[in-house]
Amino acid sequence: MKIKDLIVNFDHTSNIHRPYVIAEAGVNHEGSMDLAKRLIEEAKEGGAHAIKFQTYKASTIASKESPSYWDTSKESTESQFELFKKYDKFWKSEYEKLKIYCDDVDIEFMSTPFDVASANFLNDMMDVFKISSSDITNLPFIEHLASFGKPIILSTGASYVWEVQQALETIGKYNLPVCLMHCILNYPTLNKNANLGMINDLINRFPKTVPGYSDHTLPDEMEVLKVANLLGAVILEKHFTHDKTLPGNDHYHAMDKNDLIVFFKKMDKVYGYIGSHDKKPLVSEEISRQNARRSLVALKDINEGETIKKEHLTWKRPASGISPREIDNIIGKTSKIAIKEDSIIQWNMLD
């Protein structure tokens, strides 16, 4: 299923859905087309449904005096402008090639635009727009993206509820479906700071949106993503790399192909446990329905022709006779035969 179809046709009557996973490659290609293609291939091999890049120019995203907001022990560059300048080499022609390559590999292409120019050319390549947490208060830019008339994925890192509300009201002018992603804007996010309970808060406050989660925790055993999905987040996004040992940028808190494989194996097991959403007995439970449930049983001898009274009856296993739920319909009937104590009552014993 394409992400647009998921967002547009989301079933709000169910509170749990198998996850749609976006491998957030960002600029981990570091300006290499070969590496970008490798990231696409490995995201597909790991099972991701989409791979997402980031499209920007340093000169339009940050001033030259912009300080860092990441762990500088992992990424030593202390200027946003200088960091972004390292990785802003791809532009329209490169993303057109990556879009074609994603189609060939059969994985959905996405890229987050960070300026009007990139949004305008990416519009021809994508069915949805992702808005970064960093732009949740950038209402004129949000309005520009919404004007394309496509579903919006809005990340909510470091935001108050009223800021989320304002962004949704801006998008709401265009009557667009929205995926609202819980996010903690720390790079990396400590597991203890993941605050996955906020997913439920967003679901309760904004029930018409599609729940999602953008994760910045270290991959570990992929437990954070698993719990996020079980709490209702259906669209999951996590940074993705070909090599987690690489220094700097977004490699140090990203998952790789093997992490994705581990995650999907875990989720296959989890959804095996979840099974059917429709309450009904299983075929395997039939013997229990028959032998572990109870029937009405004669508490004492009942003579032929005697009127059945409450004191004649008790209930015992198995369920091969009349169910205890019928007791009010049994009282007052006449016994057609002599019924011995401890006999299971059958309908053919009664008038």
Per-residue model confidence (pLDDT) at position 308: 98
- Residues contacting residue 251 through CB under 8 Å, at least 6 positions apart: 28, 241, 243, 244, 245
Domain 283-349 in this protein, CATH class: alpha beta
Of 261, 243, 255, which Cα lies nearest the Cα of 30? 243
Tell me the pTM: 0.90
Q: Phi/psi at 146 (nearest 5 deg)? A: -65, -30
Torsion angle defined by CA atoms of residues 13, 15, 19 and 23, in that order, rounded to the nearest 10 degrees: 100
Residue 244: alpha-carbon gap to chain centroid:
24
CB 234 within 8 A of CB 243: no
Question: Check: CATH 3.30.70.20 for 3-274?
Answer: no
Task: Give the model confidence (pLDDT) of 261-308 as tens digits.
Answer: 999 999 999 999 999 989 999 999 999 999 999 999 999 999 999 999
With a cut of 70, list the residues of the chain below it in pLDDT.
70
Q: Residue 88: what pLDDT?
A: 86
Residue 182 bridge partners (DSSP): 213
Name, in order, each residue with C-beta under 8 angstroms of 71's C-beta and a sequence gap of 6 or more.
Answer: 187, 188, 252
pLDDT at 85: 76
* CB-facing half-sphere around the CA of 212: CA atoms within 13 A: 27
pLDDT, position 52:
98
Pairwise CA distance, residues 95 & 242, whole Å:
19
pLDDT at 219: 95
Report the distance separating Cα 28 and Cα 244, nearest Å: 11
Where along the chain do its domains lie? 3-274, 283-349
The H or E element containing residue 53 is strand 50-55
Tokens linked to 119: 């949004």
